[in-house]
Amino acid sequence: MAIKEAEGNSDVGQVGGYDAKKVVWLIVGLGNPGPEYEDTYHNAGFRAVAYMATHYSVRIRQKCGPALISDRIGIGGETAVLVQPQTFMNQSGLVLPKLFERFSAGIENVIVIYDDFALPIGKLRVRQKGSAGGQNGVKSIISSAGSDGFLRVRVGIMPSHPVGNIRDFVLSRVSKTDRVLLDQTEEIAARAAESLISNGIEKSMAAFNGIDLRENQ
């Protein structure tokens, strides 16, 4: 169960049952802001953290620089905050300075959940670090942080049919045939982010990297 921080409290001293000096995990779901992008493939990260917000009974609505954040939540004895950048995808890294200024966190405490066209729908990958792999949001975060040393949960969005223009596809609405499978993958991605905090990278990779939801169809 999450312990919800009272809204409006500052981050000075003991806040809402939390020590403000304690390291905070930043779970960043990538996507594009605005209702026109809500149901697109590119917003898988947004939806995953939104699922977490519902699960922990918090809302992602507080402003922190160019991002919306949740109240603090408790995961595995650690403290975390859910983040949705309000920049467009290719400027996602702009949220980091204000987050690092407000919370006791560094790039090693960041978990990024994002869509990945290199993986089929129904699969996900937990990764410790590495290149952006063509994902512009991840590229922006690496550029802003000057480091690729953050944890990632990659949500597969590649469909079973051929795609002509990848950019047009990722910005299109999720099809009815893909919706159930992608919803399930996003939910598991949220669990993977929790596991990274509770269990660490090695156990999380072992638990989640072999999942292929297409086998159940």
- DSSP-derived secondary structure letter, 4: P
Alpha carbons 62 and 71: distance in angstroms, whole number: 8
Concatenated DSSP letters of 92-154? GGGGHHHHHHHSS--GGGEEEEEEEEEEETTBEEEESS---TT-HHHHHHHHHHT---SEEEE
Catalytic site residues? 42
Closest by CA to 50, choosing from 211, 209, 177, 189, is: 189
185 within 8 A of 62, measured Cβ to Cβ? no
Please name every residue paired with 110 in a beta bridge, in sequence order, or none if there are none. Answer: 26
Alpha carbons 160 and 96: distance in angstroms, whole number: 35
124 within 8 A of 48, measured Cβ to Cβ? no
| Residue 15 backbone zone (phi > 0: left; psi -120 to 50: alpha; other: beta) | beta
* Tokens (6 digits) for 113: 């959940």
